[in-house]
Amino acid sequence: MLSVGRYLPRECRLPASTYSAAGLDSNKPLTPGCKDAGPHGRDGPLNFENGTIHSVRSASQRALAASWARLGKQGLPSFEQFDPEPGIHDPKQLVVWKVEVNDGRLDFRALYRGSSLDEAFNEGWAGKTLREVSPPSLQPAIFATSEHCVSTGCAIYTVLRTYDGAGFPVELERLLLPFGKSGRVKIIVASLQLTSPEGTVERRTIARDFEAHTEAVVSIRISAASINKSSLKPMAASAEPARPAAQRP
């Protein structure tokens, strides 16, 4: 069985008192139903809307979200419980972030990065924060997504687009899944997949392409309740229709 948790330290806790420093109400529990969010929620450069699991393009990402949602029927799931069914998703495509507060603002520290991402992002991330490893030009969109995940307790799905040297579009499909306790998000599991209609991506330069130009194509939040209502059955990643190899960075 695939176990993301086995790659990480067992103790990944964030004191509840630190959330107030980031402007989050410690007396207002966050729920997987996104009850504290209206139909539209602007967070920095992105305009998040309520979405459904069927908006997620990748079958393997949909299956991963469904595994998260099944654990979240009574509230935010515990990360220690997260153990997707065999074949659902490749841990080489995942990043795991610990939620922190530094100087009164939210930040995210890398606990694990899958080896498939190493080629696209050469710099090592282990132990570093998202603020340290993300390009300044991309931080508004990247942090808006991560902070919205923390503030709503929902799965967040975004698609960012750039263009390669030949002018072909390349898209980054990013799925964030929150984990925690008592309504407090402490861990975010991120799935990253690159897609291109041409089927190839120059991974060693794609990060620079996104730095030079990025546009948001999709930005939605998806509650665990809505996923569970959809009755989406578990689906192994191997059952996913063939997609260009570029989508597996």
pLDDT in tens, the chain (249 residues): 334 444 343 333 334 433 343 334 434 434 334 443 433 344 456 899 999 999 999 999 999 999 999 999 888 999 998 888 777 777 878 899 999 987 888 999 999 887 666 665 656 677 889 988 888 888 899 999 999 999 999 999 999 999 988 888 989 999 999 999 888 999 999 999 888 877 677 666 777 888 888 899 999 999 999 999 885 554 444 444 445 444 433
pTM exceeds 0.95: no
Residue located via tokens 């799965």? 155
Cα-based angle 181, 173, 118 (whole degrees, multiple of 5): 85
d(CA 180, CA 78): 5
Task: Kindly compute the dihedral angle of the four CA atoms of residues 196, 224, 67, 91, in this order, to the nearest 10 degrees.
Answer: 50
pLDDT of residue 62: 94
pLDDT of residue 114: 78
Pick the closest to residue 221 from 23, 79, 42 (CA basis).
Answer: 42
Domain boundaries, the chain: 33-241
103 CA to centre of own chain: 24
| Residue 165 in tokens | 């040297």
pLDDT of residue 1: 35
Pick the closest to residue 184 from 101, 102, 99, 96 (CA basis).
Answer: 99
pLDDT of residue 225: 93
For 97, the 3-state DSSP assignment is: strand
Cα-based angle 104, 105, 108 (whole degrees, multiple of 5): 130
d(CA 33, CA 117): 31
Question: Which residues, other chains included, contact 104 with Cβ-Cβ below 8 Å and sequence gap of 6+?
Answer: 21, 22
pLDDT of residue 63: 92
| Residue 134 in tokens | 């993300």
d(CA 125, CA 243): 28
| Residue 212 in tokens | 């030079």
Q: Does domain 33-241 have CATH number 3.30.450.20?
A: yes
pLDDT of residue 196: 85
Residue located via tokens 């897609």? 195
d(CA 123, CA 155): 27
48 CA to centre of own chain: 14
